[in-house]
Structure 1
Amino acid sequence: METRELRYFVAVAEELHFGRAAQRLAMAQPPLSRAIQQLERRLGVVLLHRTPRAVALTEAGSVLLREARTALDAVEAAERRTRRAAGDQPGVVLAAKAGASRELLSKLLAAYAAEPGAVAVEVMLCGPGEPEFLLRTGRADVALLHRPYDTTAGFDTEDLHSEQQVVVLPKGHPLANRARLSFEEVRTEAGLPLPRWPGRDGGHPDGAGPQVRDHTQLFQLIALGLACAVVPESLREQLRDDYAVVPVPDAPAVTTVVAWPPHSRSRAVADLVRTATRLQLRAGGQTGNT
């Protein structure tokens, strides 16, 4: 299969309409239809059910869509990393979630800068779920990720820090004085909805509340009495007095990891990972905020 064919198929599979897919690809519809038919003949399977009114993926088509996205992301990542390696100024791009791992990130950058042969580090601070995406697509060389919020499958990783979770409630909430709450009690007794997170951040417990993009927006909604949220315990350091925080012992622990592509041969990435691991060992596993 050619990457061109995969791009054609992904466009049709996502649009489920040949006309819209052709428009998205800036090409005519007939050659697009022929390309998909040729791909089906080569694979010996039917990828799409076509009727005069609708286009639907077959089971084989669903599998190819998933695999094609992964393959195209890998090609895109290879292109970006190759161009970056050929640049005049060597450097490494580190992705992290804005507002998370602040202490760890600060210590890591300072410790790495003191290393012999350290290169410039470009830090990309972004929303929930985005560091993983940036790493998979080659926009970042290394990332700080947080299980179970981020998926680390396909990456090499080193665990840096684990912590429990708490529920954040508005100040004066009826449950604010409880010593602990179960996750089920948060759902059924808090009287406030959990937020909805962006699709890429599937590890967050999703609720029926307002959709949020980041923790700043989330905490404002909580202060207004419009939502509650289960978050890593270290985030309480960012909160003012108008919040109540209660431990949720049965919520899954959150582990901060440093992640990088397994095929990476970058010395800068290796040195950055080594520095992060050394910081973790010095702190006895208690380094940083998630």
Structure 2
Amino acid sequence: METRELRYFVAVAEELHFGRAAARLGIAQPPLSRAIGQLERRLGVTLLERTSRSVALTEAGGVLLREARAALAAVEAAARRTRRAAAPEPGIVLVTKAGASGELLAKLLDAYAAEPGAVPVDVQLCGIGEQERLLRDGRADVALLHLPYDEPAGFDTEVLTVERQVVVLPAGHPLTTAPSLRMADVADLPDLPLPRWPEPDGSYRPGRGPEVRGNSQLYQLIALGRACAVLPDSARTHLRRDLVAVPLLDAPEITTLIAWPPHSRSRAVAGLVRAATRL
């Protein structure tokens, strides 16, 4: 299969409409239809069920959509990393979620800077759950991921830290006097709902909690008495004076990983990983 065919198929599979897919690709509809038909004949399977009114993915089409997205992302990642390797000034890109692992990240950068042959590290701060996508598509060389929230499948990883979680409440709330709490104590507080973070596509799940996109916004909402939040224990170091963190006894632990592509042969990435595992 050619990358052109995969791009054509992904466009049709995502739009479920040949006209919209053709417009998205900037080509006429007849050659797009012929290309999809040729792809089906070559594979010997039906990828799309077509009627005069609709287009739907078959089970085989769903499999190819997942595989095609991964293959196209790998091709794009290879191109990005190749261009970066040819840059006049060597360097690596590290991506991490904004507001997370701040103290660990500072220690990591200092430790790597002391490594022989260390190169500049471009730190890119991203939104919730974006690290793995940036690492998969080649915009980053290495990432800090957090289990159980991020997906490390397909990467090489090393565990850096494991920590408990806390609930962050506005100062003065009655629960701040407790030495510890459980998830049931904070899961459905009438006055302090848990926030809703964006999904990978930018949408929000239904719920009564406020929609948030970053920790600064979240902390202000908590201080105003509009929300509470369950966060890693390391978040204590960034809390304002009008916020209080109380340990949660039964919240899942947060494991921070350093992750990189398994096929990476970058000496700089290897040096960064060595520095991270020595912390």
Q: TM-score, normalised by structure 2?
A: 0.92
Distance of 2:163 and 2:206 partners within structure 1: 20
Corresponding residue number in structure 2 for 1:147:
147
Report the alpha carbon displacement of residue 12 of structure 1 after superposing the two structures with TM. Answer: 1.3
Deviation at 1:207, TM superposition (A): 5.3
Q: What CA distance in whole angstroms lies between the structure 1 residues aligned with 2:220 and 2:186?
A: 19
| Percent identity between the two aligned chains | 72
Amino acid at match of 1:219: Y
Per-residue deviation at 1:216? Answer: 1.3
Structure 1 SS opposite 2:67 = helix
Partner amino acid for 1:274?
R
> Aligned residue pairs: how many?
277
Q: How does 1:187-266 map to 2 (within 5 A)?
A: 187-189=187-189, 191-200=191-200, 208-266=208-266
Kept after mapping to 2: 8 A contact 1:149/1:201: no
User: Residue 72 of structure 2 corresponds to which residue in structure 1?
Assistant: 72
In 2, distance between residues paired with 1:206 and 1:179? 32
Q: 1:3-22 residue pairs with structure 2 within 5 A? A: 3-22=3-22
Change (3 A) 1:186 1:137: same
Q: Which has the higher mean CA deviation after the structures are superposed, 42-51 or 131-140?
A: 42-51
Aligned residues of 2:49 and 2:58 also touching (Cα < 8 A): yes
C-alpha distance in 1, partners of 2:191/2:52? 48
Aligned to 2:268: 268
Question: Aligned AA for 1:25?
Answer: L
Structure 1 residue 44 displacement after superposition: 1.8
Q: Which amino acid aligns with 1:181?
A: L
Unmatched 5+ stretches in structure 1: 280-290
**Which string of whole-angstrom CA distances, capped at 9 and with x for unpartnered residues, describes residues 212-271 of structure 1?**
221112222222222222111111221112223222222211011111101000000000
Question: CA 1:211–1:171 in structure 2 vs 1: closer, same or farther (change >3 Å)?
Answer: same
Tell me how large the CA RMSD over aligned residues is.
Answer: 2.0
Q: Offset at 1:117? A: 1.1
Structure 1 runs of 4+ with >4 Å offset? 205-208
- Given that 2:191 and 2:226 are in contact with CA atoms closer than 8 Å, whether structure 1 keeps it comes out as no
- Secondary structure of the corresponding residue to residue 212 of structure 1: coil
Q: TM-score, normalised by structure 1?
A: 0.89
Amino acid at match of 1:44: G
For structure 2, the 5+ residue unaligned runs are: none
2:266 & 2:217 partners in 1: Cα distance?
Answer: 36
The question of whether the paired residues in 2 share the 8 Å contact of 1:194 and 1:207 is answered with no
